[in-house]
Amino acid sequence: MSAVFSNPSELKEISRTLYNYLRLPVSQETIPGDFLEAAIAFVRNSERLNTYDYIDVLDRANAVGWSIKSTKVTTPLTWKRAKLPGQAELVEKSREGAGGLQDLGDRIIQFCNSHATQSMSKYDLDEIGYCRLILMKNREILYFEKSLCSAISPKIFEESDFVWNWSNQKITSGKEQLQSLHGFNRHTGRRWWAWHGLGENQLHFTGERAWWPESSGNQVLKFKMPESDEKISFEALAGLLDTLR
């Protein structure tokens, strides 16, 4: 099995750690990305980088790293701010015809691929994995692991898989909303990308939903959040911490 994947005992420990976090009186039925990164680093005997690199956790011994994301099901997933070289000229040419439009979209996909391959090169990795946690509407936690790219196959996305167009201009509450560039998967017709290159350069990755598992599997965890009677009180937590002095 690839080193990016947790074995059954590690998955069980990840589940236990996340569940116990949600039992704490300070938790608000969310699992922050910082905590998930720390939990994965602890269970996988790895290090949390706390950088702007694509990978968040690094296992030097096995030459693997992980990109880690934790959000509510309703929260848009941001790849990162995508500021492109020669951006103003690329945007201008995208207004002139299909060729310029596709070129701008291709540059966005290349930006995403290069974000990952830079980490692969910097840390001399064999493979990059993806650890993803989603808080579903039914108070269920979904966690899964996925292999994204490797030294042998370094591209996460193919430029030719996407077609692009600018969104329609909108005015909401008397305020003009800037257009965004939308990327659609040409095989399914579904939108995968929204790049806000006329504003703060946020790149939203809605196509990530295509990665979500449809059913349970070897690298999938599903469990319910603790009920109120399973939560630890502040008094009990303070008493527990006193015993550890």
Q: Which tens digits make up the pLDDT trace of 33-43? A: 999 999 999 99
So what's the pLDDT on residue 171?
A: 61
Dump pLDDT digits (tens) for 197-206: 999 999 999 9
So what's the pLDDT on residue 176?
A: 59
Query: Which residues form the domain of 142?
Result: 8-243
**Residue 24: pLDDT band with limits 50, 70, 90:** confident
So what's the pLDDT on residue 181?
A: 97
Is residue 3 domain-resident? no
Sign of the alpha-carbon dihedral angle for 163, 166, 168, 172 = positive
Instruction: Answer yes or no: is pLDDT of 241 > 80.
Output: no
Please report, as a single letter, which amino acid is at residue 231: K
Burial class from Cβ neighbours inside 10 Å (0-12, 13-18, 19+) for residue 243 reads exposed
Q: How far apart are CA 223 and CA 217, in angstroms?
A: 13
Is residue 188 domain-resident? yes
Q: What CATH number corresponds to the domain at position 167? A: 3.40.600
| 140-150 and 127-135 beta bridge pairing | antiparallel
Is residue 26 domain-resident? yes
Is residue 1 domain-resident? no
Instruction: Count structural domains, the chain.
Output: 1
Query: In Å, what is the CA distance from 148 to each residue of 22, 131, 136, 206, 227?
Result: 28, 10, 23, 16, 35
Q: How far apart are CA 69 and CA 210, in angstroms?
A: 15
Is residue 113 domain-resident? yes
Residue 195's CB: how many other CB atoms inside 10 A?
24
